[in-house]
């Protein structure tokens, strides 16, 4: 079931390329690994992550012929020297490593900063040192007008990767950012949470606020969209997919239509609606059909302009906000997508 614009990575040529994925044993890393092995014939895929057990799990899930292409590199993005070692002879880096849990980030702020901000700087420095050709970093809608530490740390990360194109001037290394909304059914998200409550006999489901809306994308579409940005990136852009919004109350209706909803109020660090492009960003945002591209507003490095390529700019006052979206998921569409999400999340 496709919920967005049918993003495809089929036109992306990664044949004989060496690709490193930070946070490579997480949900996104595993899905990207699968996509690369099935469709892109890379020379080598390096999974860079600190969880020994997750590395072990993936090793035992792959076929013998697939294992020949995969390297399991235990490491932390906080360790720049380890990153430099892992990036030798790497063509493409996909930076997916992050600390994402909002309450835990608030309680452990220094740990969040070490991974999300200092880790971003380390990826930049190591990529330049290793002369990596392309680096694409994953971001989040929570980085826009952030109200919690996780969002603020990802905003800082985005700024680091955009500015990195100036630092890398003359080296050939290019950096871009992909920003999307909530991944439907990801581990630790609301769908596995609601499923667990229902499994344990819940007679009602908690709703923070009946007006709440969110942007949604499936894990497979997030991977395909990220890969589809590689052939067009010139450095400094933030790519934003056009994806649908969803009402939290509609999700509950799709999961358990006969269960009452209990309104519990917005939690600390949580927004009523999420935003991916601000009114200020609109001044340098172009429409590429299935995505928006936020061009860097600073002119301290030379780059081709998407406007000069004929893509229209967004009108003054434009914002990309989940409650003002022109794409919405219906209850029936949500029911179809829910059937594709495994128990416990993906």
Global confidence as pTM:
0.94
Flag whether 249 is in a domain. no
Whether residue 150 is contained in a domain is answered as yes
- Assign residue 152 the CATH number of its domain: 3.40.50.720
Q: Show pLDDT as tens, one digit a residue, over the chain (346 residues).
A: 444 456 888 789 999 999 999 999 999 999 999 999 999 999 999 999 999 999 999 999 999 999 999 999 999 999 999 999 999 999 999 999 999 999 999 999 999 999 999 999 999 999 999 999 999 999 999 999 999 999 999 999 999 999 999 998 888 899 999 999 999 877 777 888 899 999 999 899 999 899 999 999 999 999 999 999 999 999 999 999 999 999 999 999 999 988 999 999 988 889 999 999 999 999 899 999 999 999 988 765 566 678 888 899 999 999 999 999 999 999 999 999 888 887 766 6
Alpha-carbon distance 17 to 34, whole Å?
Answer: 15
CB distance 208 to 248 below 8 Å: yes
Residue 88 falls within a domain, yes or no? yes
Active site residue 100: no
* Catalytic residue of the set 17, 69, 142, 154: 142
**Residue 305: per-residue pLDDT:** 78
What pLDDT, on the 0 to 100 scale, is given for residue 151?
Answer: 97
User: CA 157, 237, 50: angle at the middle one, nearest 5?
Assistant: 35
Whether residue 257 lies inside any domain: the answer is no
Q: Report if residue 233 sits inside a domain.
A: yes
Task: Name the DSSP class of 313.
Answer: B
Show the domain range for 105.
18-181+217-243+279-315
Residue 108 forms part of a structural domain: yes
The pLDDT value recorded for residue 272 is 94
83 domain-assigned: yes
The whole-number pLDDT of residue 186 equals 78
Give a yes or no: residue 346 inside a domain: no
Predicted local distance difference test score (pLDDT) of residue 302: 64
- How many domains does the chain contain in total? 1
- Region of 270 on the Ramachandran plot (φ > 0 left; ψ -120 to 50 alpha; else beta): beta
Cα–Cα separations (whole angstroms), residue 205 to 53, 102, 162, 191 = 33, 21, 41, 11
- 3-class DSSP state for residue 19? strand
């Amino acid at each position: 079931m496709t919920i967005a614009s049918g993003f495809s990575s089929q036109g992306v040529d990664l044949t004989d390329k060496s690709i490193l994925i930070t946070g490579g044993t997480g949900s996104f890393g595993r899905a990207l690994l699968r996509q690369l092995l099935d469709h892109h014939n890379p020379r080598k895929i390096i999974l860079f992550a600190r969880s020994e057990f997750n590395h072990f799990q993936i090793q035992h899930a792959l076929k013998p012929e697939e294992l020949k292409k995969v390297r399991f590199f235990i490491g932390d993005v906080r360790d720049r020297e380890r990153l430099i070692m892992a990036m030798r002879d790497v063509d493409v880096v996909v930076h997916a490593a992050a600390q994402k849990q909002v309450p835990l980030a608030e309680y452990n702020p220094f740990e969040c900063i070490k991974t999300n901000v200092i880790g971003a700087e380390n990826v930049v420095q190591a990529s330049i040192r290793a002369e990596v050709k392309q680096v694409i970093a994953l971001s989040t809608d929570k980085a826009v007008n952030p109200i919690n530490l996780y969002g603020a740390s990802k905003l800082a990360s985005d700024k680091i990767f955009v500015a990195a194109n100036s630092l890398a001037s003359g080296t050939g290394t290019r950096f871009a950012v992909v920003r999307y909304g909530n991944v439907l059914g990801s581990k630790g998200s609301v769908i596995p949470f609601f499923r667990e409550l229902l499994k344990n006999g819940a007679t009602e489901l908690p709703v923070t606020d009946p007006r709440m809306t969110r942007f949604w994308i499936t894990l497979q579409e997030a991977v395909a969209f990220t890969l589809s940005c590689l052939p067009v990136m010139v450095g400094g852009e933030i790519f934003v997919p056009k994806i649908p919004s969803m009402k939290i109350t509609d999700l509950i209706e799709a999961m358990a239509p006969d269960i009452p909803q209990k309104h519990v109020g917005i939690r600390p660090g949580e927004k009523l609606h999420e935003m991916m492009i601000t009114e200020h960003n609109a001044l340098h945002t172009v429409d590429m059909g299935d995505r928006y591209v936020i061009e860097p507003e600073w002119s301290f490095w030379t780059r081709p302009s998407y406007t000069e390529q004929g893509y229209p700019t967004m009108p003054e006052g434009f914002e990309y906000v989940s409650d003002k979206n022109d794409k919405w998921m219906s209850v029936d569409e949500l029911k179809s997508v829910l059937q594709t999400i495994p128990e416990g999340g993906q």
